[in-house]
Amino acid sequence: MNKPTVLILMGSDSDLSTMEETAKVFTEFGVPYEIHVASAHRSPVKTAKLASEAAGRGIQVIIAAAGVAAHLAGVVAAETTLPVIGVPMAGGALNGVDALYAMVQMPGGIPVGTMAIGKAGAKNAGLFAVQILSLSTPELRNKLAAYKIKMAEEVEQKDQALQATRQG
């Protein structure tokens, strides 16, 4: 098995059903990854260690998923020079909006690229990580180009099916 190039961190195991969308993207593109539960608040030492040692282990991108206060992505970004992508989890009193705000309101100097709340954000985090990795991997660039063509073809097929039902 290839060494992981992406690290997925989740603040809770309850985030797994959402973050499986990210894992599906990596499986489709053949990107090796690892996934851990690590909380910014409940396991700060573990979180800091995973983030600070990631680059030395060959990780190139970190994805951090968390809900409510959602400090995980910011704490991770403070511990590494690697790109960090945040995925706000739905739930809590504000259904993920609080997590989104926590991720996008990072202080200057600690950037976190933030995706949409929930499964769409988890999928896009995976695709964004693949785009970052494709900067140095022509094979991934080719796979991304084919992926976009496939999406366009699927839309065209759906439109043709719609048009056929509307004319009949």
pLDDT tens, 71-129?
999 999 999 999 999 999 999 889 999 999 999 999 999 999 999 999 999 999 999 99
What pLDDT shows up at residue 168?
65
CA 69 to CA 148: how far, in whole Å? 34
- Is 141 known as a binding-site position? no
Selected residue with higher pLDDT from 135 and 167: 135
Is 84 within 8 Å of 113 (Cβ atoms)? yes
- The pLDDT tens digits for 51-72 are 999 999 999 999 999 998 889 9
Residue 163's identity, in one-letter code, is: Q
User: pLDDT confidence of 1, banded at 50, 70, 90?
Assistant: low
- Is 159 known as a binding-site position? no
CA 91 to CA 98: how far, in whole Å? 9
Domains of the chain, residue spans: 6-136, 139-167
- 136-161 burial: b if 16+ Cβ within 10 Å, else e: ebeebeebbeeeeeeeeeeeeeeeee
Place of tokens 């040692």: 53
CA 166 to CA 161: how far, in whole Å? 9
State which CATH number among 3.40.50.1970, 3.40.50.620, 1.10.3210.10, 3.40.50.720 fits the domain covering 6-136. 3.40.50.1970
CA 44 to CA 110: how far, in whole Å? 18
- The pLDDT tens digits for 119-156 are 999 999 999 999 999 999 999 999 999 999 999 999 99
Helices 119-134 and 138-167 cross at an angle (nearest 10°) of 140
